[in-house]
Amino acid sequence: MSYPSFVPHWIADAEVPSMGGATFDKRCPIDDRVVAQVARGGAAEVAHALSSADGAAEAWAQTPAPRRGAILGRAAQLLREREQEFGEIIQAETGKPWKNAVAEVGSSADLATFMEGEGSRFYGKTMPSPIPNRTVQTVRSPIGICAAIMPFNSPLAGVAWKVFPALLCGNAVVVKSHELTPHTAVAFGRLLKDAGLPVGLYSAVQGSGPDAGAPLVQDNRVGVVSFTGSSATGKLIQKMVSERSVLAKVCLELGGKNPFVVCDDADLELAADLAVASAFIDAGQRCASGSRLIVFDSVYDVFRQALLDRVARMRVGSGPDDECGPVISRASLDRLVAQVAGAVSRGATLLAGGSAIAALAPGYYMAPTVLEGAKPSDEVSQHELFGPVTCLYRCRDFDDAVRLANGTSYGLTGAIHTSSHHRAQAFVARYRGGLVSVNGATFGAGPHMPFGGVKNSGNGFREPGTESLDVYTELKTVVINHNPERL
Ligand code: NAD
């Protein structure tokens, strides 16, 4: 497996250790082995990365967008060539089954290809003015330096989703790697270097949120902070930025508690297959995972049985044919088991799972877990768990389903299973979220489409898609007057 025994920072196109040599352990979720020592960064490494970004940003901003895009095109090609290497890194860091690890490499390459094309479009608009001899238009300006704060669940897609659009838009980027998936961002730096990205435009700093993330977010030179992670940390980041002496744009991509509605006219076999995929792919560690299955009363028992049959057949492990890998850490596993036990102690019934899989210990594997009977107001129904746990809820009818679907503080994704075009359209209109899937899983729009949430799931921005240009550029309105008498 291509995993180094030491994971450094990546600054100014070079691997660098921490000043003072401090490190922390990286453990593999598959077997709990310490696979690497990771450089423990802080304010000094952040300052180094920011000054290297500062020195490179101006020339890059003046490079024509199609030329910036061409470098992303080369990065796409290199990603495809290095699928095996990146797949192995992702698997060592997260323990994902192989097909899920390499799927991330493919979708990241697809995104780079899409963003390359955006360099040639780079949309602004021209509009008529009511004033004679005046032209009004918008152009996109780079922001300068982007801070990108990473989650752990899809390490390569997480970096690609932010860094490709940010670079295409003419910015320098400093990534704060997730402490549990540190090497992906370093391998990504080497890939960008090989693709021809000028030195200094991309850095990755290792370390904890408070040590390495906070000084990055608090630095006035950072013009856009793009954060993906939990709603609690997202709110903290927004607060930190608002306390700076110079404000910055803050893009928050946060958690979800995503409803999966099964109506009485649904294809129940298809719905059961996709409920399992929604809940358990990546061990439920997806912002878009289907953690609330809301089922019409009249088909509840049949759907429940179909679901439990599939859950019983799920292959848990990290091999080529497995479907559900481990969770990211021992701490996550212990927390999830305790949260499920807590829900049971408050009246929920455990239908499947609920515990660590002893045969796969010391790997952090949790049996796919299904609960029923939890109150919609219970914390297990209200808070994102970020693990292989889903809950079944009964609903009376369509209105009741919509009420339950909207009944949390989150609003990321939602799915409805129905053969009624009318119900599907009404759900699209009435579910308050950033993505609705009809007869599908709770995710799956693709890297060329905008993604993001409402309420505690986000603050209005969308990444990636063309809409990510709105995160990483400022629109400048240009007013041009001319005088036909001076020809
Ligand atoms: P987290 O909030 O614990 O950590 C995210 C990042 O923030 C980490 O890199 C962490 O080091 C950093 N951080 C923590 N404290 C900080 C501080 N004080 N200052 C600066 N940075 C700080 O989230 P996580 O558990 O790593 O990731 C899982 C979460 O991410 C889930 O809630 C999931 O739903 C969400 N997520 C959302 C999306 C989306 O697109 N909406 C995608 C993937 C994951």
At the top level of CATH, which class does the domain 258-438 belong to?
alpha beta
pLDDT at 128 (0 to 100):
93
Average pLDDT value for residue range 168-180: 98
At the top level of CATH, which class does the domain 6-254+458-476 belong to?
alpha beta
pLDDT at 19 (0 to 100):
87
CA of 180 to the centre of ligand 1 (A): 11
Residue to probe by mutation, ligand 1, list 156, 175, 230, 242, most atoms within 8 Å of CB: 230
Pocket flag, ligand 1, residue 253 (CB < 6 Å): yes
If pLDDT is split at 50, 70 and 90, which confidence band does 220 have?
very high
If pLDDT is split at 50, 70 and 90, which confidence band does 2 have?
confident
Pocket flag, ligand 1, residue 266 (CB < 6 Å): no
Pocket flag, ligand 1, residue 144 (CB < 6 Å): no
CA of 132 to the centre of ligand 1 (A): 51
If pLDDT is split at 50, 70 and 90, which confidence band does 222 have?
very high
Backbone angles phi, psi at 313, to 5 degrees: -90, -5
Pocket flag, ligand 1, residue 150 (CB < 6 Å): yes
Catalytic residues: 253, 287
Average pLDDT value for residue range 166-195: 98
Percent of the chain with pLDDT over 70: 100
Pocket flag, ligand 1, residue 450 (CB < 6 Å): no
CA-proximal residue: ligand 1, atom 42 (nearest): 287
CA of 322 to the centre of ligand 1 (A): 26
Percent of the chain with pLDDT over 90: 98
CA of 252 to the centre of ligand 1 (A): 10
CA of 67 to the centre of ligand 1 (A): 32
pLDDT at 134 (0 to 100):
96
Pocket flag, ligand 1, residue 215 (CB < 6 Å): no
pLDDT at 1 (0 to 100):
57
Pocket flag, ligand 1, residue 230 (CB < 6 Å): yes
Same fold for the domain at 6-254+458-476 and the one at 258-438?
no
If pLDDT is split at 50, 70 and 90, which confidence band does 444 have?
confident
CA distances from 368 to 159, 278, 282, 350, 355 (A): 28, 12, 11, 11, 9
CA-proximal residue: ligand 1, atom 28 (nearest): 229
If pLDDT is split at 50, 70 and 90, which confidence band does 253 have?
very high
Task: Return the number of other C-beta atoms located less than 10 Å from residue 142's C-beta.
Answer: 26
Report pLDDT digits (tens) over 349-362. 999 999 999 999 99
CA-proximal residue: ligand 1, atom 4 (nearest): 229
pLDDT at 345 (0 to 100):
98
Name the residue ranges covered by the structural domains of the chain.
6-254+458-476, 258-438
pLDDT at 479 (0 to 100):
97
Average pLDDT value for residue range 367-371: 98
Ligand 1 atom with minimal separation from the 236 CA: 18
Average pLDDT value for residue range 45-72: 98
